[in-house]
Structure 1
Amino acid sequence: MREPVCRYVYDLDGLAAHASRVVAALPWPCRMFYAMKANSAKPLLQTLAPLVAGFEVASGGELAKARAVSDAVPVLFGGPAKTESEIAEALRLRVERLHAESVLELHRISAVATRLGRTADVLLRVNLAGPFPAATIAMAGAPTQFGIEEAALPEAVRAATELPGIRLAGFHLHSLSNNLSAGAHLEMLELYRRKVTGWEAAFGLHCEVVNVGGGIGVDYTDPPERFDWAAFTRGLAALVRTFPEHWREIDFECGRFLVAACGSYVTEVLDVKRNHGTAYVLVRGGTHHFRLPVSWQHSHPFSVRPVDEWRLQAPRPELRAEPVTVVGELCTPKDVLARDVVVERVRPGDLLVFHQAGAYGWEISHHDFLSHPHPEHVFTPPPSWPLAGRLARLPPAGSRREPEPGRSASHVR
């Protein structure tokens, strides 16, 4: 008996081409790290590893996935609540830098590093007061759990420069998520320049690294507004010429912007019907596979792929030229992928293709709620090239189809 279609499909060639263009446009001394929280599937990491400066991880589990791809790829370790065991593992596996988010965390890093006889390179993540441009999520300029507020910076700098086992390399500033304006992003980086040069003067520091985070957005409306990367990097080239020469690295940590477009979530329509005046399209799948739409409260863009074959010995209902709400198979009215979207025609047996599903889709979903089967994960083509230069050689993936996740088958002076 044929099972309904339900799969993630990833275009690795498209991912490589996009990431290459993004990285190539960055002016010196800017570097692009990939924020693995967006999607940590091994084939994506294998594709990106030769192209980006390294990976940014936010847990010991992500660090293990990065090291499974290469024991030489540079890794940055962030996250607001690191455990001692994670810090120890980070030092053991030679992460380049830890991003410290509180004074207590600095003491924790110092204690672990001293016990292991190591020295940890650290950036202080600062939660700026703002104001900042409008974006989907604010990471700073408002009460959040992230970073060290500016008022506490003197104590944090003192701890980072006096505690044993720590070398302070600079500052980390990540204030927005999913910003779509290139101009606003440049203004924010200009604010960062003023802030960090001011701290250098106030505290007698000489930074070598400034991490400006990620936050470059992807628009999930149809048609989408696109972040103008070409205009941004042209403006960035002029802006970095105003940065102090001793800032040897300006690091970016993008996730969604690199991988969103490479993935699609494809699911089969099981039924169409009306309830209380609303037209519903019910699919095999839902938010337990693809939680992003309900998490961000948006209708995710999709297209209908007609399938003419109809095997069931029953009338085939259809909806035509009217708004539909797309829902999944979960027993909750919150299982909604798109709402009030006009479609030309949709029938049971047709496929819905949800676009730009490569970031924060499977990765953030509650996979086993109601114990429905997991979707397939298809990668085309499999990554097969060796990692060049400083990276370890990777074995080629043996199949176009990977097992589904979780299943068998230098310093401040």
Structure 2
Amino acid sequence: MKSARHPFCAYIYDIKGLEDHALSLASSLPDQVSLYYAMKANPDPVLIHAIQRHVKGFEAASLGELDKLTAFPDHQKVISGPAKTDEFLKAAIARDIRMIHAESLWEVERIHLIAQLLGKKVRIALRINLEAAIGKARLTMAGKPTQFGIDETRLPEIMEMIKQLPFVEITGFHFHSVSNNLDASAHLAFVSQCLMKAKEWEAQYHLDLNYVNFGGGIGIHYEKQDEPFHWAAFSQGIHELMTHAPSNWELVFELGRYMAAPFGYYAAEVMDVKENHGQAYVTVRGGSHHLRLPAAWKMSHPFEVIAVEEWEYPLSRPELREKEVWIAGELCTPNDVLVRGEFCTNIRVGDIVLFHFAGAYAWTISHHDFLSHGKPQMIYI
């Protein structure tokens, strides 16, 4: 799989592990709660096929993602995104998907116009930017000014305007507010808050709700893998909250990172090691054009070194011992950094750096064509 002529670089996916994980997550939730997969995390068809038996639906954030889901006609589909095109909305309406998550009054008006032209009444869920949301997650999309959703304080006037649109019907709310939250208690409090708000608005605005989507946002602790999100406590808390949810509501979690990240690995062969102004560097065949997340988040991606004893060169083998290393890629930019000052016992040219938690927001969010380097292999085990 590796040689001096073709240094090794690959994504490796544990398909059986992913399928077992999806089954475990789905089976831990109450019957009223539906597990959807957020396509944006990783739309690889092999992964989607592996989990499709254990999820009720999929969330798509583009027409391209929605098109990929035509292979799964029996699953529910919902769409999201802050700048949906008319083409995307028309396709969603024509295909009678489960729900459109509407981000603004203007979007609702466009949905209404398209629905009227197609002669269909369309179910929508308003995405709400709550005044208060989870505050400690890595990324937050609510509880502060963002491009996402409808300002909670404007809901009364917007509801009044939507009443004048006969081809749309509000049958749900979408509350996706955070990304990579690690606090199970905070997430439970958020779910409770969303249920309370939905019940309040159903009564206040005389709605007939059947759908509440809490989004995803459940995280992976890249820095401290021994302190994971406490899913067991969270799922138990969800069971307890069911007493507060009307029995006719479908309650949805659209998981992406938490479902897929642990079952993908990125492997890159060490090309060079050196010290520069007192700092130890390792460069690999690959980099942020394959795995963008650590560069985007300015973090050290968790890794291990796989020792490779084979050595094909008639030259001494460069190595670093007992060093805090920076692991960088092959791009001509100082921003191409995957690991920042992490202790490494021993690493040599020709060894493999194996990055963990690379199954989500990894390959498909990366700038593949920068410098026109070769792409990694895709290996499924």
Deviation (angstroms), 1:121 = 1.2
Alignment partner of 2:304: what SS?
strand
Provide the residue aligned with 2:295 in structure 1.
294
Provide the residue aligned with 2:148 in structure 1.
146
Does the 8 Å contact 2:13/2:264 carry over to 1?
Answer: yes
Matches within 5 A, 1:310-329: 310-329=311-330
Aligned residue type for 1:177? S
TM-score (normalizing by structure 2)? 0.97
Alignment partner of 2:137: what SS?
coil
Alpha-carbon separation, structure 1, partners of 2:238 and 2:244:
10
Map Cα deviations across residues 371-410 of structure 1 (whole Å, 9 max, x no partner).
0001111112xxxxxxxxxxxxxxxxxxxxxxxxxxxxxx
2:93 aligns with one of 80, 91, 100 = 91
Aligned residue type for 2:23? S
Identity %: 46
Provide the residue aligned with 2:182 in structure 1.
180
Provide the residue aligned with 1:352 in structure 2.
353
Does the 8 Å contact 1:7/1:375 carry over to 2?
Answer: yes
Provide the residue aligned with 2:49 in structure 1.
46
Runs (5+) with no aligned partner, structure 1: 381-413
Map Cα deviations across residues 327-355 of structure 1 (whole Å, 9 max, x no partner).
00000000000011111100000000000
Alpha-carbon separation, structure 2, partners of 1:161 and 1:44:
41
Alpha-carbon separation, structure 1, partners of 2:154 and 2:225:
44
Change (3 A) 1:332 1:305: same
Provide the residue aligned with 1:57 in structure 2.
60
1:18 aligns with one of 7, 18, 21 = 21
Does the 8 Å contact 2:170/2:207 carry over to 1?
Answer: no
- Cα RMSD (Å): 1.2
Does the 8 Å contact 1:57/1:63 carry over to 2?
Answer: yes
Change (3 A) 1:161 1:29: farther
Alignment partner of 2:358: what SS?
coil
Number of matched pairs = 378
Provide the residue aligned with 1:362 in structure 2.
363
Change (3 A) 1:161 1:53: farther
Does the 8 Å contact 1:99/1:125 carry over to 2?
Answer: yes
Does the 8 Å contact 1:219/1:225 carry over to 2?
Answer: yes
Alignment partner of 2:214: what SS?
strand
Deviation (angstroms), 1:7 = 0.4
Does the 8 Å contact 1:55/1:73 carry over to 2?
Answer: yes
Alpha-carbon separation, structure 1, partners of 2:326 and 2:380:
29
Map Cα deviations across residues 260-283 of structure 1 (whole Å, 9 max, x no partner).
011000010000001100000000
Aligned residue type for 1:319? L
Deviation (angstroms), 1:225 = 1.7
Alpha-carbon separation, structure 2, partners of 1:10 and 1:2:
25
Deviation (angstroms), 1:131 = 4.6
- Residue 263 (str. 1) matches residue 264 (str. 2): yes
Deviation (angstroms), 1:222 = 4.1
Alpha-carbon separation, structure 2, partners of 1:14 and 1:137:
27
Matches within 5 A, 1:214-233: 214-233=216-235
Runs (5+) with no aligned partner, structure 2: none
TM-score (normalizing by structure 1)? 0.89
Deviation (angstroms), 1:188 = 0.8
Provide the residue aligned with 1:374 in structure 2.
375
Does the 8 Å contact 1:106/1:159 carry over to 2?
Answer: no
2:33 aligns with one of 30, 33, 39 = 30
Aligned residue type for 2:56? A
Map Cα deviations across residues 184-216 of structure 1 (whole Å, 9 max, x no partner).
111111111221222123222232111111111
Aligned residue type for 1:63? L
Aligned residue type for 2:242? V
Aligned residue type for 2:102? A
